[in-house]
């Protein structure tokens, strides 16, 4: 095959990766960085072992007021504003120190964070939230179930991974997204909640617009939608839970999304997102990523259910 043709084929493969089927785990094959044209992004360079949860990676300005401040393996997203900032996810208890350092590296003060948001109530994403609450004094906002989990530190019994993880450090101040001053806080940042239970019963996704001048992009932080459980759990025994899970896929697929971000940067292919953002002025951004992400995970749950039924 000619060199140019080979390059084209590789590029098509890279662009199609989020749409291809993958195992229900929250990791997908890492894109070979030499297949992406142009210079390698510093984050991609630093995070070649990029599924390591507590490995430090450099902070990234994604677009407008939106920054990636997570580790190589776990996302944390900073959304800045004139009157304060919002932060989604903390990483693990150890990862929270890296998140705080990344926020400072960008020149922001953690004390200016007024709102802490969570994706889903597992230690790899919110295990460091108590530490972040101490550093910022901000309330933690998520679903009622996630808030309850974070206040007690203990997993909800409906969680398919119930019993698999150690309790988390407890937060002191939590608000469900519809309660108290949470709606006004969210509105102030222009962030909209999307309920996406399934991976956990309290899982949430978040969407907002990031602008550079008049030019705005819709960003979606889509939560993990993978059907992962402890060994003796069968999704097919929990029909109401599964019905809600299927609604979550539809909600994500229906959300306008120029930029897909996910709690595990591997799941939403962050290197591809960075490369698309860099080439945006030339090619524009495709609005397929979120629908592709949802349909891939929906396929995985459907496969899991058919395997469970076949084994009954
Ligand atoms: Zn999880």
Q: What is the pLDDT of residues 126-144, one digit of tens each?
A: 999 999 999 999 999 999 9
159 CA from centroid of ligand 1 (Å):
10
33 within a domain of the structure (yes/no): no
215 CA from centroid of ligand 1 (Å):
34
189 vs 48, which has greater pLDDT?
189
204 CA from centroid of ligand 1 (Å):
12
311 CA from centroid of ligand 1 (Å):
25
226 CA from centroid of ligand 1 (Å):
8
Residue 287: the pLDDT is 63
18 CA from centroid of ligand 1 (Å):
19
290 CA from centroid of ligand 1 (Å):
19
53 CA from centroid of ligand 1 (Å):
12
**Residue 206 pLDDT > 50, yes or no?**
yes
Distance from C-alpha of 243 to C-alpha of 9, rounded to nearest angstrom: 39
154 within a domain of the structure (yes/no): yes
Residue 114: the pLDDT is 97
* Mean pLDDT on 99-110: 98
Q: What angle do CA 20, 89, 174 make, to 5 degrees?
A: 135
305 within a domain of the structure (yes/no): yes
124 CA from centroid of ligand 1 (Å):
7
Domain count, the chain: 1
15 within a domain of the structure (yes/no): no
As a whole number, the mean pLDDT across the chain is 87
pLDDT digits (tens, 9 = 90+) for 68-98: 999 999 999 999 999 999 999 999 999 999 9
30 CA from centroid of ligand 1 (Å):
19
**Residue 280 pLDDT > 80, yes or no?**
no
191 CA from centroid of ligand 1 (Å):
22
**Residue 182 pLDDT > 50, yes or no?**
yes
- Quote the tokens at residue 173: 């101040």
The residue range of the domain holding 80 is 40-311
**Residue 23 pLDDT > 60, yes or no?**
no
How crowded is the C-beta side of 226, counted as CA atoms within 13 Å? 19
* Mean pLDDT on 11-36: 42
83 CA from centroid of ligand 1 (Å):
32
2 CA from centroid of ligand 1 (Å):
43
What's phi and psi for 250, nearest 5 deg? -65, -40
168 CA from centroid of ligand 1 (Å):
13
145 CA from centroid of ligand 1 (Å):
14
287 CA from centroid of ligand 1 (Å):
25
**Residue 55 pLDDT > 70, yes or no?**
yes
Distance from C-alpha of 38 to C-alpha of 11, rounded to nearest angstrom: 12
* Mean pLDDT on 247-255: 95
What's phi and psi for 66, nearest 5 deg? -115, 125
- Quote the tokens at residue 203: 């899982």
In what side-by-side order are the strands of the sheet with 77-79? 60-63, 66-68, 77-79, 85-88, 113-117, 140-142, 174-176
Burial of 188 (0-12, 13-18, 19+ CB in 10 A): middle
Kindly report the CATH number assigned to the domain that includes residue 282.
3.60.15.10
* Mean pLDDT on 199-213: 96
187 CA from centroid of ligand 1 (Å):
27
Percent of the chain with pLDDT over 70: 85
Percent of the chain with pLDDT over 90: 73
16 within a domain of the structure (yes/no): no
257 vs 141, which has greater pLDDT?
141
129 CA from centroid of ligand 1 (Å):
15
205 within a domain of the structure (yes/no): yes
**Residue 103 pLDDT > 70, yes or no?**
yes
13 within a domain of the structure (yes/no): no
207 within a domain of the structure (yes/no): yes
286 CA from centroid of ligand 1 (Å):
27
36 CA from centroid of ligand 1 (Å):
29
43 CA from centroid of ligand 1 (Å):
23
Residues 6+ apart with CB under 8 A from 108: 78, 80, 85
Which stretch of 103-117, 263-277, 291-305 has the lowest confidence by average pLDDT?
A: 263-277
Closest CA to 211 of 24, 64, 93, 66: 64
The full length of the chain comes to: 312
């Amino acid at each position: 095959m000619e060199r140019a043709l080979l390059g084209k084929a590789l590029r098509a493969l890279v662009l199609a990766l989020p749409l291809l089927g993958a195992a229900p785990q929250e990791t997908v094959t890492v894109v070979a960085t030499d297949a992406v044209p142009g210079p390698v992004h510093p984050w991609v360079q630093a995070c070649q072992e990029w599924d390591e949860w507590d490995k430090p990676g450099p902070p990234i300005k994604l677009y407008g007021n939106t920054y990636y401040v997570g580790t190589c393996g776990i996302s944390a997203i900073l959304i800045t504003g004139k009157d304060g900032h919002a932060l989604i996810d903390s990483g693990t208890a150890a990862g929270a120190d890296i998140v705080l350092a990344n926020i400072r590296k960008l020149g922001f003060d953690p004390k200016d964070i007024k709102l802490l948001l969570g994706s889903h109530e597992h230690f790899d994403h919110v295990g460091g939230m108590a530490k972040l609450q101490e550093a910022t004094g901000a309330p933690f906002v998520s679903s009622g179930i996630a808030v309850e989990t974070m206040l007690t530190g203990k997993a909800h019994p409906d969680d398919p991974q119930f019993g698999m993880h150690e309790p988390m450090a407890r937060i002191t101040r939590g608000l469900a997204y519809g309660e108290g001053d949470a709606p006004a806080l969210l509105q102030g940042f222009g962030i909209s909640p999307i309920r996406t239970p399934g991976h956990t019963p309290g899982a949430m996704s978040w969407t907002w617009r990031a602008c550079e001048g008049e030019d705005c992009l819709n960003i979606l932080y889509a939560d993990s939608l993978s059907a992962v459980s402890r060994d003796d759990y069968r999704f097919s025994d929990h029909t109401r839970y599964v019905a809600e899970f299927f609604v979550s896929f539809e909600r994500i697929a229906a959300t306008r999304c120029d930029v897909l971000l996910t709690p595990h940067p591997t799941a939403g292919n962050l290197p591809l997102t960075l490369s698309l953002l860099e080439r945006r002025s030339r090619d524009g951004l495709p609005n397929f990523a979120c629908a592709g992400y949802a349909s891939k995970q929906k396929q995985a749950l459907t496969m899991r259910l058919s395997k469970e039924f076949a084994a009954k």
